[in-house]
Structure 1
Amino acid sequence: MDKEEVAMIGFQIVAYSGEARSKYIEAIRNLKEGGSKEKTLQLISEGDEKLTKAHNTQTELLSREADGEEIELGFIFVHGQDHLMTTVLLKDMLDFIMDIYK
């Protein structure tokens, strides 16, 4: 897989995890402002869907490499990994925040 193909996968990961991050931040903001629990849970669910897509995109590439395919990594993919990791951390923190607001 050449660098351009890997870059496109990196862009997908950035997009999906960015959308998830936005939903999680919106959920936190909704909690902070006293919004409904239903809306908060809906936003989290929407974020989870996007985070799953980002993770599945990453897993597909990792599987291809594990199967022996040559993968030419570039900075865009690394950037995507960074976005994914920070969004996963935000999701973990959101779980703790939800406990605080119960």
Structure 2
Amino acid sequence: METIIMELIVNSGNARSRAMEAIRIAKNGNIEKAREKLEECETELGKAHSVQTNLIHNEAKGNKTEVDLLLVHAQDHLMNAMTIKDMAKEFVDMYEKFSK
């Protein structure tokens, strides 16, 4: 279970990092590269979401998952990454609009 949790944390952290990179890159005027970083973010979030979905499917099948602080922490990382991704998309769009 710890390996699964660490996958959630690592993939979510990677996604958050790519989203923040996208903002910085867009701020410097390279919108195309920023959008590439957002795609990388989506890929990492997809990996994390897949792990989360497997946990949910197992739970639905009756295989209960012990919820501990580490799992809660991993879920927090995922939700934070998703929020940052949404904000990063808005920032990239805004920087693109203002650069025209």
1:63 Cα deviation (Å)?
0.8
Which stretches in structure 1 are left out of the alignment for 5+ residues?
none
Report the count of equivalent residues: 96
TM-score by length of 1: 0.88
Map residues 18-97 of structure 1 onto 2, 5 A cutoff.
18-34=13-29, 36-97=30-91
CA deviations on 1:20-66 (whole Å, 9 max, x unpaired) are: 111111110001122x2221111111111001100110010011001
Identity of aligned residues (%): 41
Rounded Cα–Cα distance in structure 1 between residues aligned with 2:66 and 2:56 = 12
Rounded Cα–Cα distance in structure 2 between residues aligned with 1:73 and 1:29 = 36
Residue 31 of structure 1: SS of its match in structure 2?
A: helix
TM-score by length of 2: 0.89
8 Å contact 2:35–2:92 — kept in the other structure? no
Rounded Cα–Cα distance in structure 2 between residues aligned with 1:78 and 1:38 = 35
Which shows bigger deviation, 88-97 or 48-57?
88-97
Which stretches in structure 2 are left out of the alignment for 5+ residues?
none
- The ranges of structure 1 where at least 4 consecutive aligned residues each deviate by more than 2 angstroms after the TM superposition are none
The amino acid that maps onto 2:38 is I
8 Å contact 1:14–1:84 — kept in the other structure? yes
8 Å contact 1:20–1:87 — kept in the other structure? yes
8 Å contact 1:10–1:78 — kept in the other structure? no
